[in-house]
Amino acid sequence: MNREQALECVKTQLTEHRYTHTIGVMETSISLAETYGADVEKAELAAIFHDYAKFRPLEEMKEIILREKMPPMLLEYSPELWHAPVGAFLVEKEVGISDRDVLSAIKFHTSGRADMTLLEKVVYVADYIEPGRRFPGVDEVRDLAKDSLDLALIQAVKNTVIFLLKKNQPVYPETMETYNFLIQTRRKD
């Protein structure tokens, strides 16, 4: 599937604002992949489809999580997390993309996970720093991404955890595992 076909496919699933965001994530993913040596084509494809399920009805996503035996714990946390694993599932089933690396980058672009692959890091950080994002802390992560993908990722996850804590929201365990893994790995270096 080429870029134009992928964008046309995903455009039908998104609002205009989210489509613009997707273009920003795609361009940022390509740039980060080139900088850090990730597969550029896979980064582009994962970025294009990262929000494929973003606007699916919550009941549909919940049903898929249960039917496909995804971690039921997901349902105890913000529905904002659901579109990533559900999106990976739907991209495979509806679009026919079967590349495990691409699907994994889609699946973990909101929660992260311990020992993320380079491609997963690229898409996670690109989603966080794409040019249309405007929120406290994003410019710091953009600056860090120029020199260290891992430091950018650590700061992005840290900012997310702090944001959730300030709102008295629970933090998904996989997100905490991501942060802890990254910090512990840095200490060993």
Residue 158 lies in a domain: no
**C-alpha 184: how far from its chain's center?**
22
Distance (Å, whole) CA 157 – CA 109: 11
Question: Residue 148 falls within a domain, yes or no?
Answer: no
- pLDDT reported for residue 187: 79
| Identity at 59, one-letter amino acid code | E
Total structural domains within the chain: 1
In a domain, 186, yes or no: no
- Does residue 111 lie within any of the structural domains? yes
* Nearest-5° Cα angle at 153, 90 to 137: 105
pLDDT digits (tens, 9 = 90+) for 26-85: 999 999 999 999 999 999 999 999 999 999 999 999 999 999 999 999 999 999 999 999
- The C-alpha angle 68, 69, 71, rounded to 5 degrees, equals 125
pLDDT per residue as tens digits for the range 45-55: 999 999 999 99
Q: What is the pLDDT of residue 146?
A: 97
Mean pLDDT over 102-121 rounds to 98
Domain that holds residue 71: 3-135
Q: How far apart are alpha carbons 108 and 103 in whole angstroms?
A: 9
Q: 18 lies in a domain? A: yes
Q: What is the CATH number of the domain that holds 31?
A: 1.10.3210.10
Residue 2 φ then ψ, to 5°: -85, 175
Per-residue model confidence as pLDDT tens digits over 169-186: 999 999 999 999 999 998
Residue 95 lies in a domain: yes
**pLDDT band at residue 189 using 50, 70 and 90 as cut-offs:** low
